[in-house]
Structure 1
Amino acid sequence: MALPIIERPVRRPALSPSRAGDFKQCPLLYRFRAVDRLPEKPTRAQVRGTVVHAVLEDLFALPKDERVPETARALVKPAWDRVRVERPEFAGLFVDAEDGEEGAWLASAEGLLDGYFGLEDPRRFDPDARELLVEWEMPSGVLLRGYVDRVDVAPTGEIRVVDYKTGAAPREVNEAKALFQMKFYALVLWRLRGVVPRQLRLMYLADRQDLVYAPDEGELARFERTLEAIWDAILRAAKTGDFRPNPGRLCGYCDHKALCPAFDGTPPPYPGWPEPDDAESVLDRTD
């Protein structure tokens, strides 16, 4: 007996800050991630970032007077247990580890949370939104989609966009790259809410440093045109599969280096433009 055909809704192709950044960095990397959807092995640092994000989301669900460092540390192990169930690919992270490695890793997550409390006191406010999915269709039809770690709204209406980072703070030369993601979120929130965010705040927990930026309307309008140009370039490459590699210093960290022509590799046959759903993955959101 033939099995019934189940119709699944097809989400429209969208552009996320992570996938836009991939294409800017290396069009072939974009293809591997968004079109071929090749698997990548998560690192312990990436998964630790996921756990820390989960703890901070849980923390703001508590009453204000319970948002203290001791509570945050106590939330780490339950958050890791939950993430491990929700994301089976994370379960093998410590299968072959030496005794004590997982405990040290959890302790390092607690250290990052201590870094968070060194930057702000979460008892002093309630966020407007946490882990907020934002989507907006540009006039050209390009759908922008991403997840914002936190949105704060002042009593006077000013908006602050906050993103937690568990890696090192960027040097000055790399600040523009770090702010690309935040301008993406600021643009979408401006178009959705009609208010240009007053502040974009990247919180680097390991270094206990902030990168704060105040965008303006003209700048976000120009950024909108940049995203249009990126999407146009993606669609041109999609017609023929001509996603070219762009070798650079980050190639040593790429999971797909063995498939890259720049390193004598051969990519898999181009599957054609599958109308990918370019949403950010959970690891994209914990850089």
Structure 2
Amino acid sequence: MVTVQDQLGFDMPLPRKLIKVTPSRLGTWQDCRRRFRMAYVDRPTPPRGGPWAHSTMGAVVHNALKALFDLPVERRTPDAAAALVGTHWKDDGFADQAQSGVFRERAAGWVRDYVADSDVTTDPVGLERWVSAPVGTIVAEGRVDRIDQRGDEVVIIDYKTGRHALTTDDARGSQALALYVLAARRTLRRPCTKVELHHLPTGTVAAWEHTDASLGRHLTRAEESADEFQLAIDTHKAGGDPDALFPTTPGRQCGWCDFRRSCPDGQAAGPALDPWAMLAP
């Protein structure tokens, strides 16, 4: 077969194909390679488990805060924000209506207090904004909860509703936020260095100001993971042993893995958790 190089008369290496990555994809690979295979490689995808109450709660809070900014400025009140929690509420994953009602009120309180303590009079640059850009050997992409304009720069904001308060180390160490910075710079063509984790249950903000060096370290780790999973995918397609290429990482996380029913190793690691087990007490 005559190649492009042959036609041109000299050896010219073909450009390397960039690997698309999202924080979810990278996180799944680092957490359990078997789960990565079932989520991103196997077709048809194995059946997933049912909804989790804590995920439902987090999604409702995100949707309520997004909807708040669709309102005119004068209507962006704490009570309006709390009401939007009720508008978007779902009972998916909760034990029963009584438990769902308790956590609905709790989520409404979080959102009410958050809006009362925040300046919501300025429209964000982006809400649930998809950003994507080639950086190094990957295409970094993902959906950012909120992007604010502050002075000449934009700031990446991620809402959190987990049971534990967050620290500066969490913001600094978040690979997801670092990749969002890199992608937002190219997508929005504006300077971006600062990231913030807004933890609604405690009303705290964990912030970090990235440097080119810190972003470079995050990028290098993302590129290494991307090279690893792409090699595993390509080897699998060429006939490699999927169990060897995508081994399990048994542990506590197997109790809430969406693919538990399709993974004997995960089932053997311990009992399955109830869908509401990860709600804060």
In the superposition, the TM-score normalised over structure 1's length comes to: 0.73
- Paired with 1:196 and 1:222, the residues of 2 have a C-alpha distance of 19
| 3-state SS of paired residue (1:136) | strand
Match of 1:203 among 195, 198, 202: 198
Tell me how far 1:72 sits from its aligned partner. Answer: 0.8
Tell me, what secondary structure is at the counterpart of 1:14?
strand
Which of residues 108, 123, 128 in structure 1 aligns to 2:125? 128
Q: Which protein is bigger by CA-based radius of gyration?
A: 2
2:184 counterpart of 1:184: no
Give SS of 2:118's match. coil
Contact 2:56 2:92 in 1 (8 A): no
* Counterpart position of 2:85: 76
What amino acid sits opposite 1:251 in the alignment?
C
Q: CA deviation at 1:261?
A: 5.4
Q: Which has the higher contact order (CA 8 A, sep 6+)?
A: 1
Compute the displacement of 1:236 (Å). Answer: 1.6
The answer for unaligned runs of 5 or more in structure 1 is 1-11, 85-90, 266-287
Q: Which deviations, in whole Å up to 9, do the C-alpha atoms of 1:137-171 show, x marking residues without a partner? A: 3353x3322100111112x3111111111113456
Question: Against the structure 1 CA distance between its residues 190 and 109, is the aligned structure 2 distance closer, same or farther, given a 3 Å change threshold?
Answer: same
Unaligned runs of 5+ in 2: 1-17, 237-241, 269-281
Cα offsets for 1:203-244 (capped at 9, x unmatched): 010121211011012221232222211111001211223111
Cα RMSD over matched residues? 2.8
Match of 1:218 in 2: 213
Instruction: Determine the C-alpha separation between the residues in 1 that align with 2:165 and 2:210.
Output: 19
Asked if 2 retains the 8 angstrom alpha-carbon contact of 1:257 and 1:263, the reply is: yes
Which residue in 2 is equivalent to 1:284? Answer: none
Q: Work out which of the residue numbers 105, 108, 127 in structure 2 matches 1:107.
A: 105
Q: Secondary structure at the match of 2:174?
A: helix
- How far the C-alpha of 1:254 sits from its partner, in A, is 1.9
User: What is the letter of the counterpart of residue 256 of structure 1?
Assistant: F
TM-score (norm: length of structure 2): 0.75
8 A contact 1:186–1:197 mirrored in 2: yes
Would the aligned equivalents of 2:146 and 2:158 in 1 still touch at CA under 8 Å?
Answer: yes
Determine whether 1:31 maps to 2:37: yes
- The separation in 2 between residues aligned to 1:244 and 1:153, in whole angstroms, is 43
Aligned-pair distance for 1:255? 3.1
